[in-house]
Every structure is written in C-alpha cells, then in structure tokens.
C-alpha cells in the first residue's frame, strides 16, 4: 500500500481535511493519506517530523505552506519522497516574494512548480509546472491569486504522477493558461 503524508504547519483542521480529500480523489486506489502533525517537544522539529513519518510508514511527503528550509539531514533521509510546491516557474524566482520579483522583472509569464525537494532551496527535479500570463494591471496580490488557482490544479496532478510510478523517471509537464480576452492581441498588454 502506498502511504502519503500531508505535512502542513496550518493547524486549521478544515484546511487539512480539504487537502486530504483532494489527495484521496486523485491517488490510485489503495493509497492511504495521513495528515501528520508534529508536536514540538524536547527534540528538534525535524527529528520529530522524521519520527512521525517513520511511525506512519510514509512513502511520500507533500509539503504545503511549509515556509521553512529543511536541513540536508532530513532531505537526504526522505530523498525522492519529499514534494513541494513553489509559486514560480523554477528555476526562476527561487525563495520568497516571487510575485513581486516577477512583476519587477517584467516577465510575460509566471506560474507554479511542483518539485522534489533537494538540499539546495527550490532546486529539486521538476515534476509539473503551470504557467499564467502576467497582465499589465497586475499587482502582487492579483498575480498571486491566479498562481494559487493553478497550484490547486497541479499539486494533485503531481501526486498522481508520482504515485503511479514516475517518481523514478520524473516527467515535466507545462500547463499554460491563456490570458483573458481583454489582454490578448498585439497591443503588448502583457509583459
């Protein structure tokens, strides 16, 4: 049986339940989804995470909203079994403030990437990406909202790809979102 852990620092049980429902809906039959919560105790957070994942016999760990860098120790222990989503088309805009940086750079497209976690930040093998247009009137918040929409689509797709066995030979899939009709054409309204 394939076991997936949802590792999310969000303590809202509804959010965790929603993530679990999405994961269950896309994974092959026979997969088990577990929300792993880790109470901070005398041991380090990463030791507690590792112990919890081992205790549940987890095969794949999905990070969501996990806004902290994992140490090389934990990444190597779970290498090839840690997935993360990043709000940019990696390798562009690694790290934080991706939407602001994309707008400042004047790019025409932005997006999201699901990738395997590697010891170096946002540098793991890409599994799937989705692209959205950058509109002339975009603010970081409006661009972030469009990116979040595609994040919700590609993370489940990446889970399915990995659970069905492409984890050993990952494929990169790029999904493009067309700009709204008001921003299409030759007027140069997208950057």
Residues with catalytic annotation?
Answer: 86
Q: Tell the burial category of 190 from Cβ atoms under 10 Å away from its Cβ (0-12, 13-18, 19+).
A: middle
Secondary structure of residue 70 in the 3-state scheme = coil
Distances in Å between the Cα of 97 and the Cα atoms of 40, 100, 128, 144 are: 28, 6, 21, 10
Evaluated on CA atoms 111, 114, 115, 117, the torsion sign reads positive
DSSP string, 138-168: --HHHHHHHHHHHHHHHHHHHHHHIIIIITS
- Hey, CA dihedral for 155, 64, 82, 21, is it positive or negative? negative
């Amino acid at each position: 049986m394939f076991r997936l852990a949802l590792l999310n620092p969000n303590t809202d049980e509804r959010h965790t339940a929603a993530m679990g429902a999405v994961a269950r809906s896309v994974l092959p039959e026979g997969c088990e989804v577990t929300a792993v919560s880790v109470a901070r105790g005398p041991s380090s957070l990463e030791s507690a995470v590792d112990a919890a994942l081992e205790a549940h016999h987890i095969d794949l760990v999905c990070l969501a909203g996990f806004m902290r860098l994992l140490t090389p120790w934990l990444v190597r222990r779970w290498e090839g079994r840690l997935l993360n989503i990043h709000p940019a088309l990696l390798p562009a805009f690694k790290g934080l403030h991706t939407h602001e940086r994309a707008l400042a750079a004047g790019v025409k497209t932005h997006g999201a990437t699901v990738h395997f976690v590697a010891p170096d930040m946002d540098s793991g093998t890409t599994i799937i990406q989705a692209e959205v247009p950058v509109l002339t009137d975009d603010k970081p918040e409006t661009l972030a909202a469009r990116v979040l929409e595609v994040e919700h689509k590609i993370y489940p797709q990446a889970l399915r790809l990995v659970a069905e066995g492409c984890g050993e030979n990952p494929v990169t899939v790029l999904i493009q979102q067309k700009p709204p009709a008001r921003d299409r054409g030759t007027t140069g309204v997208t950057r």
